[in-house]
Structure 1
Amino acid sequence: MAPAPSETPGRVGFRAGWVFAAIWLFYLGENLNALLRHPAGMWRDVGLVALALFAVTYVLLVSIMRKPRSDGGYPPSELRIWLGLLVLLALALLQLPAAGQHILTCTVYIAASAVMGLPLRSGLAVAVTIAVAVEVAIRVVPEWRTTSQGYALAVVLAAAATWGMRLAFERQGRLIQAQNELAELAVADERSRIAGDLHDILGHSLTVVAVKAELAQRLLDVDLDRARAELRDLESLARDALADVRATALNMRGISLPGEIAAAKAALAAADVKAELPGAADDVPTRYRELFAWTIREAVTNIVRHSRARHAEVRLCPDSVEIVDDGQGCTSTAGGGQGLAGLRRRADELGARLIAGQRGDRPGFRVRVEVPS
Structure 2
Amino acid sequence: MPLYAAGWLVAMITGPRLSPRRRILLVGALLTLAGAAALLQNGPAYLGHAGVFSFALAAAAWLFPALWAVLLGLGLGAAQALVLWAAPGPLSWGLVGDLFPAVVIPVAVTLLIRLVVQLGQAREEIAALAAAAERDRLARDLHDVLGHSLTTITVKTGLARRVLESGGDPERALAELRDVERLSRQAHSEVRLTVSGRRRPSLAAELAGARAALRAAGISPILPPSAAHVPAELAEPFAYVLREGVTNVIRHSGATRCEVLVGDDWLEVRDNGPGQKAAGPGNGLSGLAERLRAVGGQVEAGPLPAGGFRLRASRA
- Displacement of 1:114 after TM fit? 1.5
2-side partners of 1:123 and 1:367: how far apart?
Answer: 59
Give the match for residue 159 of structure 1: 103
What's the C-alpha RMSD, in Å, of the aligned pairs? 4.1
Number of positions where the alignment pairs a residue of Structure 1 with one of Structure 2:
306
Q: Is it true that 1:339 corresponds to 2:281 in the alignment?
A: no
Give the match for residue 141 of structure 2: 197
Give the match for residue 156 of structure 2: 212
Q: Is contact 2:303-2:309 (8 Å) kept? A: yes
2-side partners of 1:64 and 1:248: how far apart?
Answer: 51
Q: Is contact 2:220-2:258 (8 Å) kept? A: yes
The structure-2 alpha-carbon separation of the partners of 1:87 and 1:175, relative to structure 1 and needing over 3 Å to count, comes to closer
Q: Is it true that 1:112 corresponds to 2:58 in the alignment?
A: no
Q: Is it true that 1:280 corresponds to 2:226 in the alignment?
A: yes
Question: Residues 298-347 of structure 1: CA distance to partner in whole angstroms, max 9, x if unpaired?
Answer: 11000000001001111223232222111014226x22322111111111
Query: Which consecutive unaligned segments of at least 5 residues does structure 1 have?
Result: 1-49
- Displacement of 1:213 after TM fit? 2.2
Letter in 1 for 2:219: V
Letter in 2 for 1:369: A
Taking the TM superposition and a 5 Å limit, the aligned residue runs for 1:1-373 are 67=13, 71=17, 73=19, 86=33, 90=37, 94=41, 96=42, 107-118=49-60, 120=64, 132=79, 135-136=82-83, 139-141=86-88, 145-146=89-90, 148-149=92-93, 151=95, 154-155=98-99, 158-159=102-103, 162-163=106-107, 181=125, 184-221=128-165, 222-223=167-168, 224-331=170-277, 334-360=279-305, 362-372=306-316
Deviates more, 1:203-212 or 1:71-80: 71-80
Q: Is contact 1:257-1:292 (8 Å) kept? A: yes
The structure-2 alpha-carbon separation of the partners of 1:313 and 1:342, relative to structure 1 and needing over 3 Å to count, comes to same
The structure-2 alpha-carbon separation of the partners of 1:123 and 1:371, relative to structure 1 and needing over 3 Å to count, comes to closer
Deviates more, 1:121-130 or 1:149-158: 121-130
Q: Is contact 1:61-1:84 (8 Å) kept? A: no
TM-score, normalisation: structure 2: 0.77
Query: Which consecutive unaligned segments of at least 5 residues does structure 2 have?
Result: none
Letter in 2 for 1:213: T
Letter in 2 for 1:275: P
Deviates more, 1:222-231 or 1:334-343: 222-231
Sequence identity, in percent? 35
The structure-2 alpha-carbon separation of the partners of 1:138 and 1:325, relative to structure 1 and needing over 3 Å to count, comes to closer
Letter in 2 for 1:273: I
1-side partners of 2:297 and 2:78: how far apart?
Answer: 66
